[in-house]
A = this chain, B = another copy of it.
Amino acid sequence: MLEELRMEVYRANMELPARGLVTYTWGNVSGIDRKRGLIVIKPSGLNYEDLTPEKLVVLDLKGRQVEGDLRPSSDTATHLRLYRAWPQIGGIVHTHSSMAASWAQARRDIPLYGTTHADYFYGPVPCTRDLTPQEIETAYEEETGNVILETFDERGLNPVFTPAVLCASHGPFCWGKDAAQAVYHAVVLEELARMACQTEQINPQARPAQDAIRDKHFYRKHGAHAYYGQG
């Protein structure tokens, strides 16, 4: 069952160490089959070199394990929360990649400083508020999903236009139309985070790029009038 999705999610997981986004087991990718309402996700704490498509875990959207002997990622409840809220997304990734996690630890949004950012994110990458001690102690992983949704709701953000978030004191979650694009966005985010940090080091008074640059670059790549790539 779900042969193709398993392979897709497997490949997306293996891209994380290949791109230098994870140390040891720090990270997990999932993908969803919207028709069947099933997700495929990395097992908890498994080394990437030991991962195979068969070892991936299949769950339904309520978190009931449908296939696989291994325990799913400890972050599974966060993935499920986002899949339930956002039907537009098909893949999710969580990492502790160095620069993005540092912005999360600094509890700051990543400002849109240039075209590299605007090519993929239509505005700053938001950082959530802190969870309350009660949220942490009761249903930590699900509440992590809730605070992500709260952040997007309160700021009126569209997850398709802003395909990543920083969880305060923790690290990034990214998503996309499928698992591969979610990981693509995680790679882009890490590079944006590095460049934003360097930009402020070079000029502590750096200002974000103007709105016209943001619009031009985002819509050069996205939507009906896009003219980047081979269409």
Question: What is the interface of chain A, defined by CB distance below 8 A to chain B?
Answer: 23-26, 43-46, 70-71, 74, 96, 98-99, 101-108, 113-116, 130-131, 133, 136-137, 140, 169-171, 184, 187-188, 191, 194-203, 206-207, 209-213, 215-216, 220, 227-231
Contacts and interface: CB of A to CB of B under 8 A. Distances in A.
A210 B170 CA distance: 11
Contacts of A227: 44, 71, 74
A105 B113 contact: yes
A210 to B, nearest CB: 6
Contact of A210 (B101, B130, B196): B130
A213 B169 contact: yes
Given A106-B199, A195-B101, A136 B216 contact: yes
A109 to B, nearest CB: 11
Contact of A105 (B70, B107, B206): B206
Nearest to A25: B229
Contacts of A198: 98-99, 102, 197
A187 B23 CA distance: 9
A195 B23 contact: no
A107 B206 contact: yes
9 contacts: A23-B188, A23-B191, A24-B187, A44-B227, A45-B230, A105-B206, A130-B210, A133-B210, A137-B212
A170 to B, nearest CB: 5
B102 A195 contact: yes
Contacts of A206: 105-107
A116 B104 CA distance: 11
B131 A213 contact: yes
Contacts of A74: 220, 227-228
Given A136-B212, A216-B136, A199 B115 contact: no
Given A106-B202, A107-B203, A136-B213, A194 B45 contact: no
